[in-house]
Amino acid sequence: MASYVVRRLGAGLLTLLVMTMIIFLLVRLVGDPAHLMLPPEASEADRELFRQQLGLSDPVPVQYVRFLLGLAQGDFGRSFRFSAPALQVVLIRLGPSLILTGAALSFAAIVGVSFGIVSAVWRGGFVDYAARLFAVIGQAAPPFLFALLFIRLFSVELRWLPTSGYGKLAHLVLPTLALGWYSAAGLMRLTQVNLIEALGSEYVKMARAKGLPEHVVLLKHALKNAALPIITFAASQFGILLGGAVSIEAVFAWPGLGSLIVESVSQLDYTVVQAAVVVSVILLIGINLAVDMLYAVLDPRIRYGR
């Protein structure tokens, strides 16, 4: 197990290196901050001086090596937009992103899995149709459409919740629903399908034949066996939610990482883009590793390290 983790971390480091290389080149192709920031009255000499102060007048490979050397010491450079360390800017914005993504994923897991169970157990009944309708609507439209509709209904018409903002629990409700519904719909379908399959399997018939109570059959036997694909899906949703939150963050003025990256690219704040990419890659590598570990715990047949 330990050697597996080490190997995975090594591969992760390589991924990180490749990612930084790609992003380093790409952001530099977009534009030149000396043109964006300085007034047009600036002469070419002014712009060159500005580039020098930002460290952008050196050849890109030199800049890249300097970036890696800084990275090794935990120094991501300074954001010229905010006059603050780039990593600090990213970490400030990571918190709200994790809160929103976490809330959306929790919502998706709780609602999606329970609707899936309900729908599998009472197949063809009223709750099944309600849950299916929930899933179809959730997957039918992009999250930002729901975001706008929710604001219209719950904020502008009913005045129950604030239109946007960050800091209070009330601010979290609508973005969580808008962002989480799509994943909840996916989880509901997946749970339903897997559970139906498990409920029809031989071991469930066996358990029932032994006279075990129905809830034990359902939770201990059927659901545990249906859990693996559900967990894989949920984990993959985390990355998707983190990345897909950009439109939701914009609509709800949520100060998260997604909107920071978008702004930083359009403002050519290179250091922040780089720091944000490094932080998100590390985060995703960590999550994937954690999920793989979880597999081994849930299913003793899965072994790593050989």
Partner 1 sequence: MSKSRLLRVLAVLGAICTTAAHAAPDTPAVDRETLVVALEKEFNNLDALVAVSGDSLRYGWQIYDTLYGFDQKGNLVPRIATGVDISEDAQIFTYRLRKGVKFHNGAELTAKDVKASVDHILKPENKSTRRPFFAPVVDAVETPDAYTVRFRLKVPDGAFANKVAGYLYIVPADYLASLPNAEAFAQAPVSAGPYKLKTYAIGGDLVLERFEDYWGEKPKIKTIIFKIIPEPSSRVNAILTGEVDLAVVVPLPDYDRLKKEKGLDVIANPVASPLYVRTYTNQPDSPFAKRDVRQALSYALDVNAIIKGVLHGVGEPVPNFISKYYPYGGDASARPYPYDPKKAKELLARAGYPNGFTTKLYSATDQPKELAEAIAAYWGQVGVKLEVDRIAYAAWTRLNNTHSSGPLSVTQFTNAIYDPIHPVAGSFTKEGTWSDYYNPEVEELIAEVNRTADNRQRNEIFKKVGKVLHDDAAGFFISELYYVFAKKQSLDWEVQIGSGFLNFRQVGWR
CB 19 within 8 A of CB 283: no
Least Cβ distance, residue 219 to partner 1 (angstroms): 27
Least Cβ distance, residue 245 to partner 1 (angstroms): 13
Query: At 156, which helix (H) or strand (E)?
Result: none
All residues at 6 or more sequence positions from 122 whose CB lies less than 8 Å from its CB, including other chains: 128
8, 9, 11, 76, 278 from 14: Cα distances, Å: 10, 9, 5, 18, 12
| 142 is a contact residue toward partner 1 (CB under 8 A) | no
Our CB check for partner 1 shows the closer of 6 and 133 to be 133
Least Cβ distance, residue 170 to partner 1 (angstroms): 11
Binder of partner 1 out of 22, 266, 290, 305 (CB under 8 A)? 266
CB 296 within 8 A of CB 304: yes
Q: HSE of 261 in the Cβ direction (CA atoms, 13 Å)? A: 23
Opening angle at CA 178, ends 189 and 250, nearest 5: 140
Residue where the block lists tokens 């984990």: 235
Distance CA 223, CA 236 (A): 20
Residue 101 main-chain phi, psi, to 5 deg:
-65, -45
Binder of partner 1 out of 24, 67, 146, 166 (CB under 8 A)? 166
| 171 is a contact residue toward partner 1 (CB under 8 A) | no
Binder of partner 1 out of 109, 111, 268, 278 (CB under 8 A)? 268
| 115 is a contact residue toward partner 1 (CB under 8 A) | no
105, 150, 198, 270, 301 from 181: Cα distances, Å: 9, 12, 25, 34, 33
| 250 is a contact residue toward partner 1 (CB under 8 A) | yes
Residues 62-81 that bind partner 1 (CB under 8 A): 78, 80-81
Q: Is the dihedral of CA 57, 60, 64, 65 positive or negative?
A: negative
Residues 271-290 that bind partner 1 (CB under 8 A): none
| 162 is a contact residue toward partner 1 (CB under 8 A) | yes
Query: Which region among 184-192, 236-244, 256-264, 292-300 touches partner 1 (by CB under 8 A)?
Result: 256-264
Binder of partner 1 out of 7, 22, 46, 299 (CB under 8 A)? 46
Least Cβ distance, residue 40 to partner 1 (angstroms): 4
Our CB check for partner 1 shows the closer of 2 and 158 to be 158
Least Cβ distance, residue 57 to partner 1 (angstroms): 12
Total residues interacting with partner 1, rule: CB under 8 A: 58
By CB neighbour count within 10 A (0-12 exposed, 13-18 middle, 19+ buried), where does 179 fall?
Answer: buried
| 260 is a contact residue toward partner 1 (CB under 8 A) | yes
Q: Side chain identity at 109, as an amino acid letter?
A: A
CB 164 within 8 A of CB 248: no
Distance CA 283, CA 290 (A): 11
| 173 is a contact residue toward partner 1 (CB under 8 A) | no
Binding site for partner 1 (CB under 8 A): 30-32, 35-43, 46, 49-50, 52-54, 78, 80-84, 89, 92-93, 96, 126, 129-130, 133, 148, 151-153, 155-159, 162-166, 250-253, 255, 259-260, 263, 265-268
